[in-house]
Amino acid sequence: MLRRLIDRMGRIAPADGGGDRFVLEPAIGAFDRVYGGQSLAEALIAAARTVGEGRRLNSAHCYFLRLGDPRKPVVYVVDRLRDTRSFSVRQVRAEQDGQAIITATFSFAASSGGIEHQRPSPDAPLPEEIPSRDVALLALHGGDLPRNSGVPWPIDLRHVDQPPWEKRIGDGRHRVWMRADEELPDDPLLHACLLLYASDLTMADAVTNQHPIVWEDLIAARGLFGASLDHAFWLHVPARIDQWLLHVQESTRAADGRGFTTGRFYDRSGVLVASVAQEIFIKTISGETA
């Protein structure tokens, strides 16, 4: 699964007609819609193609506007908003059939010195002490996995707190160890893309675990519908996604059909490498918010 995702991102190619336009041919996947984190990572690839060497991603801000269709190509249109000695800023519009499905702004920064501080990493069991998502689901369901639950992920997820398939009320805190499921080359852009992809995987769980909502019902739209509305990501220092990262998430508020979550990524030595914020839309199929 990871190799297929990487190969897909590598197939982003210049579109006909020149300019800062890139195209990605249709994907073959298990889901019936395009995963938001995947589109965001692909938009980052397109943006980075227009940025010179010596600059790395420092932030991304995205709105998810429409559900993407995995059977259709995606065109990424890049607008060069700013280039200075310290920063390059790019806006990317991902389109299908001439309509935007996401719009994202990426900032790339040159390395520089300055002040430094961080919030300490919270205590958590080691990832080796926690079963993987696949092992936990197999133990729970055996061979009779719910729809979409058995789809392999390119990221190994190990839930410290309440996993999203348990229908019990949590406290809004959600800690997950994450790591790519194979070793990766020393390519900072690849690691940034996959970390951005991973940052969207479990943000909704901190919202839903405060309510009697089961994860597979949300994915299968069985009585519920949920979707990411926006996503913000800050990469403070370079990080490797093929080494364990602890994603500490907290949902402080849900109201009017929307839930808000923040997250912090720490490496195993306790360094805060990235921060995330997201709002999701969630409602029952009947129209009442969950």
Active site residue ranges: 200, 228, 278
Name, in order, each residue with C-beta under 8 angstroms of 116's C-beta and a sequence gap of 6 or more: none
Please give the structure tokens belonging to residue 65. Answer: 């506007």
101, 67 Cβ separation under 8 angstroms: yes
End-to-end CA distance of the chain: 32
Rounded Cα–Cα distance for residues 130 and 179 (Å): 13
Q: Which residue has tokens 């943000």? A: 203
Closest CA to 108 of 200, 10, 188, 37: 188
Rounded Cα–Cα distance for residues 243 and 288 (Å): 41
Q: Is the dihedral angle over the CA atoms 105, 230, 274, 5 positive or is it negative?
A: negative
100, 94 Cβ separation under 8 angstroms: yes
Name, in order, each residue with C-beta under 8 angstroms of 245's C-beta and a sequence gap of 6 or more: 177, 178, 179, 195, 198, 239, 265, 266, 267, 268, 273
Q: Which residues pair with 226 in a beta bridge?
A: 282
Residues comprising the chain, all counted: 290
Q: Which residues pair with 105 in a beta bridge?
A: 61, 91
Rounded Cα–Cα distance for residues 246 and 263 (Å): 10
Rounded Cα–Cα distance for residues 20 and 22 (Å): 7
